[in-house]
Structure 1
Amino acid sequence: MPPVGAALWRSLRAHQVYGANTDVGKTIVSTVLCNAIQRNQAAPRLPSSSPHLQRYANGILTECLYQFDEPVSPHIAARQKSLTIPRDDEILTAVRQTLSDWAGTGINFALVETAGGVHSPGPNGNSQADLYRPLRLPIVLVADSRLGGISSSISAYESLRLRGYDVHSVLLFRDDYYQNHEYLRTYFQKKSIPLVPLPSPPARPQSHEPDAVARDEEAMAAYYDRVARGTDVTGLLEELTAKNTARIERLEAMPGRAHETIWYPFTQHHGMAPTDITAIDSAYDDFFQTYRPAASPEGGLRATFDGSASWWTQGLGHGNPDLALSAAYAAGRYGHVMFPGNIHEPALSLAETLLESVGNPRLQKVFYTDNGSTGMEVAVKMGLRAACHRYGWDASQEQISILGLKGSYHGDTMGVMDCSEPSTYNKKVEWYRGRGYWFDFPQVRLSQGTWRIAMPVDMEALGPDLQFASLSAVFDLEARVQSEAGQRYKEYIRATLETLVQQHGMKFGALIMEPVILGAGGMLFCDPLFQRCLTEVVRGHPELFDEDAPRASSTPAGQPSWSGLPVIFDEVFTGLYRLGRRTAASFLGVDADVAVNAKLLTGGLVPLCTTLASAEIFEAFSSPEKSDALLHGHSYTAHAVGCQVAVDSLRTMMQMERDGSWDASRRDWQSSSSSDGDSPEAWSTWSHGLVHDLSYGEGVEGVFAMGTVLSISLKDTQGGGYTSTAAQGLQQALAAGGREFAVHSRVLGNVLYLMASITAQAEALRAIEGLLRAALLDGAVSIPGATD
């Protein structure tokens, strides 16, 4: 089923009525509002969902989409064997479609009334606050006037705010004994939320009394007339109308205001117009809710797939209520506290969880920074210090370089920028020097239904291109490392290093790699065997870097010692299940001496980075002199909010792995594996059939999928690369989308990639795959420069 867009229309003012508790009078409040609308407008037709509304607000259009036979909690009603329970997405679709139909017929006011309290369960057991969150309707909160109602009302409000709802008004019945309305009026005034107290409704006659029904109806009719005349409900409705109008006006104005004030990263502003900027009203799961004034005169919102996973950060979905609660808990408990010389529970718990779960016996220490770039900056400092300490080099007197791969990118801070070859990202940056050597490497992609490893054009020593029947066969490194290709890789790497050191006098202090996939360089899928061989040569031949270098051994604590050069893995993008495994290093069968994680570390909620290092690397900074310490830090180091969110995010992801959450995707890719029924070495949440079919696309040069990543390289007779425009047509087609939703994507030259969270729903991904098929296989998109 296609994703559901948030509900917003220019003509229809739609609100959701939530109660602070059950039996607080939501239906009576809804009737009061509808009656007030009728009194102030000529013969309106207003939707409702209650027989009570039909009786006491003439002319109301009602729609009850789903109803249980018994007035009990849905989790009890659902136990009836004969009952067909609608899925949550079916309920959302039905609600939004009903509202959309009403908006198209001139109805200008709608209420969606919930059942019970804010957290009363929906039909499938989920809290209603979570069930209806994708619609993100503005809230009319009916507070509780009874004993304990102040607490339940404030708790309900906070629960709604925690989930990103806008509470536009509060109503409750006046009780002169408890006087909750007096306290709550002051509370909500501070938050600029109007509160309207209503007279208490008349007591219902006992059912056995004569004419009970007739007297009850007469009393209620008189009550509604009295409320309409004696309270400022009309003023409240005017304020609700103003807020609806203001929301649309803000969304319409945001691109223009942003164009005047914002300097966007990685964006050439020359020729940029406000129409190139997308206004995002909210986000939930894998989708933005984007405003599209040109496509909808009604001023509507549309679900838009977050195709870059918000720059690769999304792991557990936008608006995740569990992570929001984790952040709120840590913010309430700590805020931010000074870290050096101190410890707090979230930072300690995260460090211990990481060290226990990454499966790397070398790693013993955790250093906290704010983002991937600064985490890699620390890693470079660690690696270079360790090498200089061991070999007696003086970095102030000679240049110590790094080894890496072409197309690598480790961030934009000054140190790590020098760890990448000259490129569009850095060659015009004034301080850039490029201190290192970067190997070209064989690349993996699926083309014409065959997994191919293409050797670099100018590296004949690596041998001919290779072909494999499945992606899992590419990752069968224990077999491949002894192959002829493995031997050629090792010899080529050893000979190259020997030339660089002995003939060119270069000194290297660390090997830095992004395991498997080089992200910002263009989603470059490196042959994992090449990275394995590069690591083994560096560690197995320390004499290449210093003729007196010791061989690999163990530290006094029994941990593996680094040999040759410290090996640093940049897993900022590829780590923590992005490629389907807890670590990308596990694909290579190699343990790094330093590993960096960010992005998915906090599930996509807040920035945080960890640099994990071996005890031996740590000891290189140990000295009686303060100046020998790792003098690096940030004001918000080990931010308690980020650490707590990361702890809960990691535990959730690991539990998903234990629960087999991705078993369906594994089975889908298992049929293409040569593992004879075993779990495939590599798989993706993107369907194997799609990837296979796209590989035959006329304008497609190659494609691959791993974990949540899908990468499509388009043909470009001009050579491709970061400045290529070959992918723009496909990007525009996805942005146009279909009737129900669109896709926001980023391109890296001639490469368009899509990425999902690890919690992405299969139905949503299949719908997006339909757009891709239409664009690339059905000829909907013309790829410029794609002729052979």
Structure 2
Amino acid sequence: MSLLFKHLRIHQIFGANTDVGKTLLTSALVRASAALGNDVYYLKPVSTGPMSDADDEYVKRFAGKHKSRVRTECLFRFGEPVSPQLAAQLAQREESKVYIPSDKEFVTAVASHVRKCATHTARPSHMYVETAGGVHSPTLSGTTQLDSYRPLFLPTILIGDSRLGGISSTISSYESLVLRGYIVDAILLFRDEYYRNWEYLSSYFAEKGVQVHAVDPPPAKHTDNNTNIQLTEQFYWKIVPSNNQGTIFDTVRHLDICHTQRLEELDSMPRRTLDTIWWPFVQHGHVKTEKDVTVIDSASGDVFSLYNGHNTESSTPSLLEPQFDGSASWWTQAVGHAHPALTMAAAQAAGRYGHVMFPEATHLPALKLAERLVKFGPGRGWASRAFFSDDGSTGMEVALKMALRAFAVREQGGLKSGIGMEKRRGLGVLGLKGSYHGDTIGAMDACEEGVYTSEWHEAKGFWLDPPTISVRNGQTVISVPPSISAESEVETQSLGWTYDITERFKTPLAAVYRQHIESTLRKLRNSERTLAALVLEPIVMGAGGMIFVDPLFQRILIDVVRSSNAFPGTLSTTPGEWSGLPVIFDEVFVGLYRLGFESIIPLLGVFPDISVNAKILTGGLVPMAVTLASDSIFKAFYSEKKVDALLHGHSYTAYPVGCEVANEALNVIEKLSKSGEWEEAKARWASPQETKLQSNGVWSFWDPDFVSELSKLPCVGEVMTLGTVLSIKIADDTAGYQSHSAQKLLDVIKSSENTEDVSPIPGGSPFGINYRTLGNVAYFMLSLNTAPEIVKAVENRIWRTLSS
């Protein structure tokens, strides 16, 4: 992962093209760094071509009179003078035993060498890592260099192109670097007096705060090798003079300043943060010192790079340490951080549209996304319209407005305009205890009183106490509240069977659920508040404590609500129309494969009337929500009068950047859903009696044996998992959300210290685990493409911590 050292200033050298002078100018930087009294390390990760032309040999030859301070290295060497990918393939054809490393192995080899150099001396030192060809030249695996090296996140020097067309290639290369998040500290190129590219580029990049340094070009290559060496040496004496002055020395000093400024900024961030930022869901009284502030310098894949400069107990020489993003960045992450495909989609839409107004208008990203969600995605078979908003909470506000209006219109016999607003203030919702639909006032009002609600909150409705599912002592168990049955715990055949609604309809528990729900609704019929919608978080209530609700209870609740005589005048016999109460599925957390399914609809075997998707929708890159609605809900707002319309909207409705990113995220997710790794994970959860696994069976990315054994530990009350989610409830702790037991018990895993496993992350560094708790519940969450070896390493850390 990312590397940063106090005494070792590292820069990676990228070229705007091939033959732009990368090695020649890097040699000048090496020579100047050594002349200024630094130990200098030069690394050429991949070299192609004969040894006589090797860049590391060239740098060593022209290191100058201080070459004793210079150490050069090449990690992978191939004989053919072609691109690294092709050179490796040709070598493998000639000798089948030639091994081509993966991107992870390649980056780990580079990182290991960098760390070795960093521990070699405590003196001020410089390191230059020179890439091959242009910024998008492939590495050994075929991955473009920008993506392959990205986990290291090394500050960059771009060698510009001084030739015809070089202005374009230099700017394009710079933009490619920026799109992937690289820090470009300087641009260095030759001073060609004919094309004079440096003049234009200096002015162009000055506006961006990037310094451009130009040096005189080298002499033409002489046919006689000895003469050529002599001329080259004279060239270096000219651009790296003995008085330590000139452009190259200015560049080296500028790079030193950039390094120092980065360290100073990282070091100052905790104090500045404590002075200015108000965090969500944090009691600031518990954050006492600067070392309590987590400084995230960058992120790549599933890993944060954290600044540990305030951690005096850290044994790693790097000021950055990797930490697994164990909450998938608060539930939004789908395909890892800094995914290049999503970044490019965002840039493309930003460049084409920025943001454009949406009422009575359309644009392609929004239209494609709406059609995809309605016709081919979670709205398939029931939805007719997609309404765009900003995030999950606002999406739920929209859903509530839709449902309450549809109920009011039908209750009034189809009357729309002129509905008595005073009477409508008595509307409420039916839901489940522990539910959470967002932090806007309307979404809070759709939940009972709790830790998330505000002083202005007014709980509007009734919430049933739901039965839940968990794994205890290796056995899948249904916990039934005493308000439903005297039998508080029911063991089931297996996790898969527990989610087979069709089979479980035949069980006695189904009749118990139905009787309890019908009885409750009869009692509520004469209450002061009129129930106007059923609002559910299907399968899992996340913020309430990762509560895995019995799906049979939710399914029967929907069936009873839609057929109940507790809602006179709202039952429908027309196919496709809502009946009883409009049903809202809050799939903000659970939708789009978070639990292993595109939608929970097939698992429950019933369509909603309204549903909301967000979070994973854009892969965690930008906020966006979509509320899907059936045609019968849409018609409740359809008339010739403006007042009857859904008068609700957001400034960034159908934000083109968000729509384009969502389309690309869904493309990536669709490919993942067909991957071999997903199939292997599903197979681990299959059992002989669960032959329907491939169509509707439940599964998880977490290993079933690990989950079972974890549930048997004395400190663990229960465990539950589906898809990417792992929830661990601490034993004998009834304090709920106000508890700190989960945080205290697992706090040690946040650190990368004392880890025993070989690190599976790119770069090979030991890593900590960033996770979140909900009182006495600790949860861990994966991306949809988290590597199996990383999942295994996280499981091992959790197991060792809880079993010790």
> Which TM class, normalised by the smaller chain length?
over 0.9
Q: TM-score, normalised by structure 1?
A: 0.93
Structure 1 position 95, deviation (Å): 1.1
Of 750, 759, 764, the residue aligned with 2:785 is 759
Tell me the equivalent position of 2:571. 550
Q: Which residue of 2 aligns with 1:263?
A: 278
Q: Deviations over 1:556-585 (max 9, x none)?
A: xxxx11110000000000001101111122
User: Mean alpha-carbon deviation: is it higher for 158-167 or for 80-89?
Assistant: 80-89
1:52 maps to a residue whose letter is Y
| CA–CA distance in structure 1, aligned partners of residues 435 and 792 of structure 2 | 32
The residue that corresponds to 1:654 in the other structure is 670
Counterpart for residue 714 of structure 1? 730
Offset at residue 136 of structure 1 (A): 0.6
Establish whether residue 103 from structure 1 lines up as the match of residue 130 from structure 2. no
Decide whether the 8 Å contact of 1:511 with 1:565 is kept in 2. Answer: yes
Correspondence 1:109-188 to 2 at 5 A = 109-188=126-205
Residue 377 (structure 1) aligns with: 397
Residue in structure 1 matched with residue 769 of structure 2 by the alignment: 743
Indicate yes or no: 2:304 matched with 1:288. Answer: yes
**Alignment partner, residue 364 of structure 1:** 384
Question: Residues 676 and 406 from structure 1, CA distance in 2 versus in 1: closer, same or farther, beyond 3 angstroms?
Answer: closer
Q: Is 1:21–2:45 an aligned residue pair?
A: no
The alpha carbon displacement at 1:131 in A equals 0.3
Deviation digits for residues 246-271 of structure 1, max 9, x if unmatched?
11111111111010000111111124
Q: Does 1:459 align with 2:484?
A: yes
Q: Contact between 1:472 and 1:680, CA under 8 Å: does it hold in 2?
A: no
- Could you say if the C-alpha distance between residues 458 and 373 of structure 1 is closer, same or farther in structure 2, counting changes exceeding 3 Å? same
- 1:224 corresponds to 2:236: yes
CA contact (8 A) 2:387 2:627 kept: yes
- Deviation per CA, 1:507-552, whole angstroms, max 9, x where unpaired? 21000000100000000000011101100111122x2111x44334
How far 1:677 sits from its partner (Å)? 7.6
Greater mean deviation of Cα atoms: 183-192 or 158-167: 183-192
Q: For residue 317 of structure 1, what is the aligned residue in structure 2?
A: 336
In the alignment, the residues of structure 2 paired with residue 672 and residue 23 of structure 1 have an alpha-carbon distance, to the nearest angstrom, of: 61
1:219, 1:64 → 2: CA distance? 26
Distance 1:249 1:584 in 2: 48
Equivalent position to 1:615, from 621, 624, 631: 631
CA distance in structure 2 between the partners assigned to 1:678 and 1:710 by the alignment: 21
CA distance in 2, matches of 1:614, 1:481: 27
Match in the other structure for 2:62: 56
| Superposed displacement of residue 716, structure 1 | 3.2
TM-score normalised according to structure 2 size: 0.92
Aligned to 2:470, what secondary structure does the other structure show? Answer: strand
2:442 partner letter: G
Deviation at 1:277, TM superposition (A): 1.2
The letter for the 2-side match of 1:386 is: A
Distance in 2 (alpha carbons) for counterparts of 1:726 and 1:677: 36
Could you list the runs of 5+ residues in structure 1 that have no partner in the other structure?
A: 207-211, 555-559, 780-788
CA distance, structure 2, for counterparts of residue 576 and residue 122 of structure 1: 33
State the match for 1:88 in structure 2. Answer: 103
Residues 145-170 of structure 1, C-alpha deviation per residue, up to 9 Å, x if partnerless? Answer: 11111111111100000000010011
Alignment partner, residue 697 of structure 2 = 681
Counterpart selection for 2:36 from 33, 40, 54: 40
Between stretches 410-419 and 102-111, larger displacement belongs to 102-111
Is the 8 Å Cα contact of residues 715 and 726 (structure 1) preserved in structure 2? Answer: no
Q: Note the C-alpha offset of 1:482.
A: 2.5
Aligned equivalent of 1:246: 261
| Aligned counterpart, 2:50 | none
1:70 corresponds in structure 2 to: 80
- CA 1:391–1:676 in structure 2 vs 1: closer, same or farther (change >3 Å)? closer
Matched with 1:572 is 588
Q: Closer, same or farther in 2 for the Cα pair 1:672/1:186, shift >3 Å?
A: farther
- CA deviations 1:210-235 (Å, max 9, x no partner) are xx221111111111111112732112
> Hey, what does 1:333 align to over in structure 2?
352
Counterpart Cα distance in 2 of 1:244 and 1:669: 49
| CA pair 420-673 structure 1, distance change in 2 beyond 3 A | farther
Q: CA deviation at 1:464?
A: 4.9
Q: Is the 8 A contact 2:537 2:586 kept in 1?
A: yes
SS state of the match for residue 63, structure 1?
A: strand
Change (3 A) 1:337 1:115: same
Q: What code does the residue aligned with 2:571 have?
A: P
Structure 2 unmatched ranges of 5 or more: 45-55, 413-418, 756-765
The DSSP-based 3-state class of the residue aligned with 1:579 is: coil
| Alignment partners' CA distance in 1, 2:58 and 2:287 | 54
Aligned amino acid, residue 177 of structure 1: Y
After TM superposition, the structure 1 stretch with the greater mean CA deviation from structure 2, 730-739 or 232-241, is 730-739
2:447 to 411, 420, 428: 420
Contact 1:470 1:673 in 2 (8 A): no
- What does 1:478-489 correspond to in 2, within 5 Å? 478-489=502-513
Q: Secondary structure at the match of 1:544?
A: coil
Report how many residues are paired.
756
Contact 1:360 1:591 in 2 (8 A): no
What SS does the aligned partner of 1:433 have? coil
Q: Distance in 2 between matches of 1:115 and 1:46?
A: 17
Q: Please give the secondary structure, in 2, of the residue aligned with 1:270.
A: helix
- Give CA-to-partner distance per residue, 1:290-316, whole Å, 9 cap, x none: 101212685611111111111100012
Q: Deviations over 1:427-467 (max 9, x none)?
A: xx221110111111111111111110111134326x45222
Question: 1:205 deviation in Å?
Answer: 2.3
Amino acid at match of 1:454: S
Measured in 2, the distance between the counterparts of 1:552 and 1:657 equals: 38
Aligned partner of 1:214 in structure 2 is 226
Distance 1:578 1:292 in 2: 31
Alignment RMSD (CA, Å): 1.7
Instruction: Measure, in 2, the Cα distance between the counterparts of 1:85 and 1:399.
Output: 69
Q: Which amino acid is the alignment partner of residue 559 of structure 2?
A: E
Deviation at residue 661 of structure 1 after TM alignment: 4.8
CA drift of 1:672 comes to 8.0
Closer, same or farther: CA 651–71 of 1 in aligned 2, 3 Å? same
CA contact (8 A) 2:323 2:767 kept: yes
| Aligned residues with identical type, % of pairs | 44
Residue 481 of structure 1 aligns with an amino acid whose one-letter code is F
352-361 or 144-153: which moved more? 352-361
Please, which of 794, 797, 804 is the counterpart of residue 768 of structure 1? 794
Local SS of the residue matching 2:783 = coil
Find the counterpart in structure 1 of residue 658 from structure 2: 642
